[in-house]
Structure 1
Amino acid sequence: MTTNMGKIDRGLRLFIAAAIAFVAFGTAMLGSGILFWLALIVAGVFTLTAFVGNCLLYSIVGLKTCQDC
């Protein structure tokens, strides 16, 4: 699998995933319903794609944010 995400993109995804997880777990804003689980799924996908370095949506669109790939 090739990398199509740059370091800044990966870092931003990790930061956004942490923020979403904090909102889901640390506040009562989302409750415990569907929004809570949706937020956890989005945070999980962002974390997974940040660690792997490949985004399926980027592959479909043909976007690459890394300079050396």
Structure 2
Amino acid sequence: MFSLNMGSTDRIIRVVLGVILLAVGFFVLSGTWKIVLGVVGVILLVTAAIGWC
């Protein structure tokens, strides 16, 4: 469907940042920032998983 447009380094960075943002949002913050970091973290993880952004 789509050709991959991410290298392995970019994918690794996205996974690491996605996990960090989800952890901070889930365990540290509350309210709106929790939702914002959760959404951004999920987007980073999904784009890393599919290899396309």
Is TM (by shorter chain) over 0.5?
yes
Q: CA offset at residue 54 of structure 1? A: 0.3
The residue type equivalent to 2:36 in the other structure is L
1:35 and 2:33 correspond: yes
Aligned CA RMSD, in angstroms, stands at 0.8
Give the structure with the larger helix fraction. 2
Separation in structure 2 between the aligned mates of residue 16 and residue 6 of structure 1, nearest angstrom: 16
- Which protein shows a greater Rg? 1
Structure 1 runs (4+) deviating above 4 angstroms are none
1:50 and 2:48 correspond: yes
Q: Could you tell me which runs of 5 or more consecutive residues in structure 1 were left unpaired when the two chains were aligned.
A: 56-69
Partner of 1:15 in structure 2? 16
Percentage identity across aligned positions? Answer: 29
Instruction: Please tell me whether the aligned partners of residues 26 and 38 of structure 2 are also in contact (alpha carbons under 8 angstroms).
Output: no
* TM-score, structure 2 normalization: 0.90
The residue type equivalent to 1:35 in the other structure is W
The alignment covers a number of residue pairs equal to: 52
Separation in structure 1 between the aligned mates of residue 37 and residue 25 of structure 2, nearest angstrom: 7
